[in-house]
Structure 1
Amino acid sequence: MIRTLVEADNEVVFAYLTQNPALNLFIIGDIEAFGYEQAFQELWGEFTEDGLVKAVLLRYHNTFIISAEGICDAEGFASIIRSYEFDGFSGSEDAVAQLELLLPLEGFRKTDSYFAECTTAEHATLSTNTEEVQMATLEDVDRIIEVRKSIKEFNIASDARGMLQQSIETKTGRTYYIEQNGKMISLASTTAENSLSGMIVGVATVEEARQKGYVTHLLEHIIRDLIAEKKTLCLFYNNPSAGRIYKRLGFEDIGHWRMYRK
């Protein structure tokens, strides 16, 4: 049975989500930050006959995330998603595979990524870079978006600015950056930060400043700060070169993530 989740379901929902806190960090973070009764966020759960949660679907603005351990009611969840105008759908590869043929995904870009986790800061001491690392504030939001737009590998969503601003305001995300002559040249962000974990996203360096160790320098700061806060770090990647950097810093592959974006 699938039904809308409400605050009274929180205990049983978290009993399910925390079985795999890394892969479920987006859903955990959004529930902790925004709860169950926001216009931009809704949750549905599939329950077993004895009242346990076996799958969760999250709508956050115009994107959906599915979490399912084993076989879920794919048609039931797909019918919910189809009732909305959506521009993103993601989850573990196994969970997404159950729904993707049931959804109108023509025109969406599909990305399969490795999902990696870091639980220690012992490797975050590799860099000899001495560039100052700063943490962005709300006043830096437009500058961050402009840098991201300048990176050809990035696909910037229409609501990216609003979501970045919201993450800073709610402390569910932070952005570290290096600048030269008043211009941001390298940055890395976290998102979906919750009491247990956070995900690294938006790792970028402008073309003329690449291959100088700035990304490693930024990531070391993020790793040390979040591990000190007793949070696990996660990320997904599909670039082998990036994967080598992350693994040198202590990340280990723990699964695969599949994303559809317009």
Structure 2
Amino acid sequence: MIIKTDQTWHEKVMDYLSAEPALNLFIIADIENFGYETEFQEIWADVGEDGAITGILLRYMGNYLPYAKGTINAEAFSEIINKDHNYEMLSGKKEITEQFRPYVAFERTKETYFAELRDAQFLNKSSSRENIRQAELSDVDSIMDLRHLIKEFDIRPTAKQSLEQALTTKTGRTYFIKDIDKMVSCASSTAENSLSAMIVGVCSHPDKRNQGLASLCMEALCQDILAEGKAVCLFYDNPKAGSIYKRLGFKDIGFWSMNYPVRHVSAEQQTTLVK
């Protein structure tokens, strides 16, 4: 039975999602940030006769995120999606989103590797953090100037606003290194919640690559997030970047699939490690 949840379901919903905190990073963050009583967000649950949750579907504006520990009731959840004329994207673990194909028409699909870091065993704890600083709102313009120099990045029109919001709400942080007055490297987190965080925007100035600066920022960021008891995760589609992440202890946990019904620019942030 599909029911629309409210605050009274919060404990059961979070208990179900916490089994895979990295894969459910966006769902958990949206629930913690916006709850159950907003016009732009809704959460449905597939509930068995015993009252146990067997699947979740979250809508954030026109974006839908499904999750289940195995088979999901894709047919029933698809009825909700197909009634929404503002539906823009269905995203989630590939094994889950694939179950929607018989019921929801996808015009375009993008897939990326999804990796998770659970401990700091392989992170370089001996590196000096003297030159690594945590960004404040006054640093946003410098961060955006650096990101615009990275050809691998797809900078969205709302990227600056999203960065400012993350810093203000503490749902994201950025660590950076400066050379005199110029920002030369940074790494950011986004969608931080009580259980997990996503690493994005890892980069170095084109003139400062191959010096390990981006890795220093990323390792410091990961160490601090892990110390708070959270899992760290990221997307990547570049095998070279993947090999670097794995040396730091990241492990592939599946593919993340973004499925679009109409042509438009992806809303997902690109994650590229540039040493």
Length, aligned pairs only: 260
* Separation in 2, partners of 1:54, 1:70: 9
- 2:112 aligns with 113
* 1:91-135 superposed Cα distances (whole Å, 9 cap, x missing partner): 0011111224644543x5x33222222122232117857772221
Alpha-carbon separation, structure 2, partners of 1:208 and 1:195:
37
Structure 1 residues 38 and 185, CA gap change in structure 2 (3 angstroms): farther
Structure 2 CA distance for partners of 1:165 and 1:3, relative to 1, 3 Å: farther
**Which segment drifts farther, 152-161 or 168-177?**
152-161
Aligned partner of 1:35 in structure 2 is 35
Distance of 1:177 and 1:101 partners within structure 2: 45
- The equivalent of 2:94 in structure 1 is 93
Which moved further from structure 2: 76-85 or 231-240? 76-85
Which residue number in structure 2 is paired with residue 204 of structure 1?
203
Q: Normalising to structure 2: TM-score of the pair?
A: 0.83
Paired residue for 1:72? 72
Partner of 2:45: 45
SS of the equivalent of 1:96 reads: helix
What SS does the aligned partner of 1:235 have?
Answer: strand
Paired position in structure 2 for 1:165: 164
CA–CA distance in 1 between the matches of 2:255 and 2:54? 19
SS in 1 for 2:115: strand
For structure 1, the 5+ residue unaligned runs are none
Instruction: Tell me, yes or no, if structure 1 residue 185 matches structure 2 residue 146.
Output: no
1:73, 1:93 → 2: CA distance? 15
Q: Matched residue of 2:257: which SS? A: strand
**Separation in 1 of the partners of 2:152 and 2:27?**
26
Separation in structure 2 between the aligned mates of residue 242 and residue 181 of structure 1, nearest angstrom: 28
Mapped to 2, the partners of 1:101 and 1:144 lie a distance apart of 43
Structure 1 residues 76, 141: CA separation in 2 closer, same or farther (over 3 Å shift)?
farther
Identity rate, percent = 45
| Aligned-partner Cα distance in 1 for 2:218–2:243 | 13
Look up the match of 2:143: 144
Whether contact under 8 Å (2:134, 2:175) holds in the other structure is yes
Who is 1:245 aligned against? 244
**AA in 2 matched with 1:42:** E
1:175 and 2:174 aligned? yes
**C-alpha distance in structure 2 between counterparts of 1:51 and 1:40, whole Å:** 27
SS of 1:194's equivalent? Answer: coil
Check whether the contact 1:127–1:216 (CA below 8 A) recurs between aligned residues: no
Distance 1:127 1:63 in 2: 42
Question: How far apart, CA to CA, are the structure 1 residues paired with 2:237 and 2:120?
Answer: 23
Offset, 1:84: 4.3
Q: Are the counterparts in 2 of residues 129 and 214 from structure 1 also a CA contact under 8 Å?
A: no
Q: Within 2, Cα distance between the matches of 1:209 and 1:62?
A: 39
- AA in 2 matched with 1:238: D
Say if 1:177 and 1:218, in contact at 8 Å, map to a contact too.
Answer: yes
Note closer, same or farther for the CA distance 1:228–1:42 as it changes in structure 2 (3 Å cut): same
Code of the residue aligned with 1:215 in structure 2: it is A
Mean Cα displacement is larger for which, 163-172 or 4-13?
163-172
Return the TM-score normalized by structure 1: 0.86
Instruction: Summarize deviations over 1:44-65 as a string: whole Å, max 9, x none.
Output: 2222222222221222344332
Are the counterparts in 1 of residues 186 and 218 from structure 2 also a CA contact under 8 Å?
Answer: no
CA distance in 2, matches of 1:170, 1:42: 21
Q: Which residue of 1 aligns with 2:56?
A: 56
Residue 219 of structure 1 aligns with which residue?
218
The one-letter amino acid paired with 1:78 is S
The one-character-per-residue Cα deviations of 1:24-70 (angstroms, maximum 9, x if unpaired) are 12212222222212344322222222222222122234433221222
Deviation of 1:176 after TM superposition, in Å, equals 1.3
CA 1:239–1:252 in 2, change beyond 3 Å: closer, same or farther?
Answer: same
What's the C-alpha RMSD, in Å, of the aligned pairs?
2.5
Alignment-derived partner of residue 154 in structure 1: 153
Instruction: Report if aligned partners of 1:186, 1:214 keep a CA contact under 8 Å in 2.
Output: yes
Q: 2:271: which partner in 1?
A: none
Query: Are residues 13 and 168 of structure 1, via their aligned partners in 2, closer, same or farther at CA, if it must alter by over 3 Å?
Result: same
